[in-house]
A = this chain, B = another copy of it.
Amino acid sequence: MVDEVQTLARRAREAAADLAPATRAAKDAALELVADRLLEHLPAILAANAADVERACEAGASATVVDRLTLDRSRVASIAEAVRQIAWLPDPVGEVVRGYTLPNGLELTQVRVPFGVVGMIYEGRPNVTVDAAALCLKSGNAALLRGSSSAACSNGALVDAMRAALEKSDLPVDAVQLVPPDRAAVGELMRARGLVDVLIPRGGADLIDTIVEQSTVPVIETGVGNCHVYVDAVADVERAVRILVNAKAQRPSVCNAAETVLVHADVAPTFLPAALRALAGAGVTVHADERVAGYAEQAGIDVVPATDEDWDTEYLSLDIAAGVVDSLDDAVAHIRAHGSGHTEAIVTSLQDSARRFVASVDSAAVMVNLSTRFTDGEEFGFGAEIGISTQKLHARGPMGLRELTSTKWVAVGDGQVRG
């Protein structure tokens, strides 16, 4: 296993050297070929996927898990279409980040370059295999893909299709490689310092924690979101209810869904009855502190009492913790103590509150008068997303093509030496 992953990583490193100077035209043509081949390989992909699905069903997987795993003609078509969309995005490589001429005539530019080799470790859906590979190709990186064992056959068929496309392209075939879906391979990837430039884990908190703690390869931490909505002392109640319900219930299983609502005491009497009714209507269970429970009782709405753990819980379900605070500062202190640094929203009519909340909350994204659900590469206009970083180093928030690059300083002179 050690040898196998090392061999894959060495091949990726060689491929990366050829990939780095590839033109946008060559990369886009290869991506179009990838999309074509995915459609041509449809029978093989669906057969492989059927084997994964059968295995999952036999193992008693839930309907949700099986649904995530399942591919059909239209899903594969969507995956191929997403690859074409990545081909249409601008190439991040070669972008000049800054540049100037120094007093001694030295011309200095900082230019975007690929990382080199990107290791993706992920769970669940097979579409991530293609998405991640396409984003890596476009940004000039060789991809080492380590997907879930539950999707091993599907991932194998998808990677076969992509490599068949690369064979017909001007890019190296080893730009896309699948890593065996076992635990030992993850360990090897984490120790492949010098061969792998960055690891991006996507999945549950346990997976990400393990990798962040054990990897000697630099890691970009993604995706855990204990997101807050704070409703300020003066706020448009109808707007606040709409934002809260959207943030919680529009898609509760994702990292940018809200998990706690904090309500300023001044707005609680008008906001909470409407909000609790709307949340109940959306099927949400409210884990209420004592003051929220009081309003719920008055309004005749059922809630459950919040425990200490509720404030730290990423439910990823139709549950929300709710509390009343006496000031914006108390809300910020609560978020500082319990938040995960992903996304927090304020709903307010007061300019100073918006300014203070934005300045004080230390999160990847801070929303003023809109839903937390907007923290997303597509929504932010990146065209595509490889994950949402919750760390402060390198990339913070949604990561698109630019976030898959490093930079290089290029200095041009005519014989300058240091005195």
Contacts and interface: CB of A to CB of B under 8 A. Distances in A.
A75 to B, nearest CB: 21
Nearest to A373: B418
Contact of A411 (B219, B370, B412): B370
Contact of A415 (B108, B113, B243, B336): B243
Interface stretch (A38-46, A123-131, A151-159, A352-360): A352-360
Given A106-B374, A418-B250, A392 B115 contact: yes
A374 B418 contact: yes
A17 interface: yes
B106 A197 contact: no
A374 to B, nearest CB: 6
A57 B251 CA distance: 68
A416 to B, nearest CB: 4
Interface in A382-410: 391-394, 396-398, 406-410
A396 B407 contact: yes
Question: Number of contact residues on A: which range applies?
Answer: 35 or more
Given A370-B106, A371-B417, A409 B365 contact: yes
B368 A418 contact: no
A150 interface: no
Contacts of A246: 417-418
Interface in A163-179: none
Contact of A409 (B236, B366, B410, B417): B366
B394 A394 contact: yes
Contacts of A410: 358, 365-366, 368
B411 A367 contact: yes
A380 interface: yes
Interface string A213-236: 100101110000000000000001
Contacts of A197: 392-393
A362 B116 contact: yes
B370 A417 contact: yes
Contacts of A358: 410
A187 to B, nearest CB: 14
B212 A216 contact: yes
A212 B193 contact: yes
Contact of A218 (B366, B391, B397): B391
Contacts of A370: 106, 411-417
Contact of A371 (B213, B364, B406, B418): B418
Interface of A is mostly: mixed
A394 B393 contact: yes
A179 to B, nearest CB: 20
Interface string A172-215: 00000000000000000000010001100000000000001100
Nearest to A97: B97
A381 B411 contact: no
A369 interface: yes
A198 B392 contact: yes
A21 interface: yes
B374 A416 contact: yes
Interface string A97-128: 00010100010101001011000000000000
A106 B363 CA distance: 18
Given A102-B379, A220-B393, A371-B418, 16 more contacts: A17-B362, A20-B360, A106-B370, A108-B380, A115-B392, A218-B391, A243-B415, A246-B417, A251-B418, A362-B408, A367-B413, A370-B412, A374-B416, A375-B409, A392-B406, A397-B409
9 contacts: A17-B360, A17-B362, A20-B359, A20-B362, A115-B392, A239-B414, A250-B417, A365-B409, A397-B407
